[in-house]
Amino acid sequence: KFSDTKQENYTLMKGVLKMNGTNFMRVEEVAEELNISKSYAYKIVQKLNEELKNKGFLTISGRVNKQYFMERTCYGAVQKER
């Protein structure tokens, strides 16, 4: 929800943008995390985003939800075992 002043709106928008920065991984981060090429990371991001689209979620090209990435890779299995 936006407030009446521009400064408060800017602060809210900055908060949203900052939050988005931590909730999504870029292709470069996926490549680094999995130790794969950037072109292969694009394919993985596209596949994960297609799965999310099929579930009704809005996706961003070139980025993937960090939590979903962790769940769909081996990292999700490790977290569930603990």
75 φ/ψ sector (left φ>0, alpha ψ -120 to 50, else beta):
alpha
At how many degrees (to 10) do helices 38-54 and 27-34 cross?
Answer: 110
Strand ranges (E), the chain: 24-26, 63-65
Classified as helix, coil or strand, 73 is coil
If you search the block for the tokens 């900055």, which residue do you land on? 14
18-42 residue pLDDT tens: 444 469 999 999 999 999 999 999 9
pLDDT at residue 49 tops 90 = yes
pTM over 0.85: no
- The whole-number average pLDDT for the span 49-74 is 94
- The whole-number average pLDDT for the span 37-66 is 96
